[in-house]
Amino acid sequence: MNVDDTTGAAVLDQLRRRSADPRRRILFTGATIVTMDPELGVITGGELLVEGSTIIAVGHDLGADGAVVVDATGAILAPGFVDTHRHAWEAQLRRIMPDVDDLGGYVMTTLAGYAPAYRPHDMYVGTRLAALTAIDGGITCMLDFSHNSRTSEHSDAAVQALLDTGIRGVHASMGPHFGDWDRQWPADLTRLRNQYFGSDDQLLTLRLATLATDEIAGPALAYGPELARVAQDLGVGVSVDAVFGTSSSEAVLRWRKEGILGPDVTLIHATGLTAEAWQAMGDSGTTVALAPTSDAQIGLETAIPAVDEALAAGIRPGLSIDVEVALAGDMFTQMRALHTIQRMRAVNAAYGTDRRPSRISTHDVLDFATLQGARTNGLEAVTGSLTPGKKADLLVVQAEDLNNMPLNDAVATVVLGSDARNISAVLIDGIPRKWNGQVLDVDLAALRGQVHASREYVLNTSTIG
């Protein structure tokens, strides 16, 4: 924003004093607005009007009597990023195994070694840390694939952490892979829905989380007709992790015959799948969550993010972070990794021939990280673009900072130039969650103490020497 710290603080004070007013208006002026709405496109020198939690109008010369005016000259307004799959509870173990060799190494260390040591308090600390960091990096909606639900209290702690941060959270609940647990899942999903997810107009939504096959953790956690019925009875979507290779391809074809694929089902990773499996996914409208750095760095099946396969099947995927024990936790890294890997492969495949490489664009990856991510999370009508009628989940990105100026292409500046330091403000549901470059309402010293204490407890209690 084109304001100094004092003026910015004054604007924030106005917003907070009027926060209880459902008709409170905020008018952003002078911005380059990257709407990610196919019909609205990019608006130069534009204005965006928020009323309460909702975007009311986008354009020029809107006018809004009584609105709190935010001068966004020299900034880009963009939709908040949408993370379609992150194991948030692991956050206090960040980069503890940066050079993990394969999926087995991750599974045996994190899921078999560290996970059984987690108390509900550790679930809360890790999930809250992940969500706050997501907000700092411009992720306004995060699907937490919470696969360490050892007790009902573990699930409650994970949900409460999302609530306490103010993020638009999707709690995707699954039982743990290894160790002792109460076997309350999936029956406990009914209680969770009734206790925390009673309204359709709230920040948090619920999904059922599951695995593609029984190879890692046995049949109880594998997707099939029984879990599909649970999700259908609850009226929630399904997120299926560890979808890769021959066995998952066979599972996808089986799910098609069983009629349990569709737009409410998200398949995560989707590396090394057969052409027949992709056709079944595309024909059924099944959504896909890619994890670009996870696939490439950990080496999941082919180790190549399956963006070309998804696009060929008519699926525009969402993007996800996956596991911070070995990976970066921001969406900028995911966009850049996917953009680079796909374009490298396209040129390499055409090298020495007269074929023209089929390359994705910066607009494509920003679309994956926003609008398509929202669709993948079942929230396309709510967030993912700066479309009037959607919730005000948006970013203010400083385009005239040292690493971004001068502004030549707004989409490319967001995708290729920016990082968390350039995000001066984040609004979620119309509420400022980051302002003047700082995440709000966080006692950083207290959080740091909780994170360090939780990490030490897990490390000292786990079976990892």
pLDDT at 37 over 90: yes
Taking only the tens place, the pLDDT of each residue in 15-35 is 888 777 888 999 999 999 999
- The token duo for 318 is 């969402």
Q: Is the pLDDT of residue 1 over 70?
A: no
Neighbours of 26 (CB within 10 A): 24
Q: How many CB atoms lie within 10 A of CB 22?
A: 10
pLDDT at 4 over 50: no
Q: Per-domain residue ranges for the chain?
A: 5-80+381-439, 81-376
Q: What is the per-residue pLDDT for 65?
A: 86
Is a pLDDT exceeding 70 seen at residue 140? Answer: yes
Confidence at 465, pLDDT banded by 50, 70, 90: low
Asked whether the predicted pLDDT for residue 365 surpasses 50, the reply is yes
- pLDDT for res 264: 98
User: pLDDT tens digit string along 284-307?
Assistant: 999 999 999 999 999 999 999 999
Return the residue matching tokens 């046995």. 218
Tokens 């959607």 belong to which residue? 390
Q: What is the pLDDT of residue 377?
A: 98
Which tokens is 252 given? 């996808």
DSSP sequence for 48-101: EEEETTEEEEEESS---TTPEEEE-TTEEEEEPEEEEEE-GGGGGGTTSSTT--
For the chain, the 3-state helix, strand and coil shares in percent, each to the nearest 5, are 40, 20, 35
The residue-averaged pLDDT of 240-267 equals 97
Residue 380: per-residue pLDDT: 98
Using one digit for the tens of pLDDT, what is the confidence trace for 230-241? 999 999 999 999
Q: Which of 10-19, 373-382, 391-400 has the lowest mean pLDDT?
A: 10-19
User: For residue range 74-124, what is the model confidence (pLDDT) as tens digits?
Assistant: 999 999 999 999 999 999 999 999 999 899 999 999 999 999 999 999 999
For residue 414, which amino acid is it? V
pTM, full prediction: 0.97
CB 391 within 8 A of CB 53: yes
**Residues 40-49 pLDDT 10s:** 999 999 999 9
Mean pLDDT to the nearest integer, 320-335: 98
pLDDT at res. 464: 84
Kindly report the number of other CB atoms within 10 A of residue 221's CB atom. Answer: 23
What mean pLDDT value characterizes the chain?
A: 95
- With 0-12 CB in 10 A as exposed, 13-18 as middle and 19+ as buried, what is 327? buried
Candidates 3.40.50.2000, 3.40.470.10, 3.20.20.140, 3.20.20.10; CATH matching 81-376: 3.20.20.140
Return the pLDDT at 7. 55
The pLDDT, as a whole number, for residue 6 is: 47
Matching CATH number, 5-80+381-439, of 2.30.40.10, 2.60.40.10, 3.40.50.11710, 2.40.110.10:
2.30.40.10
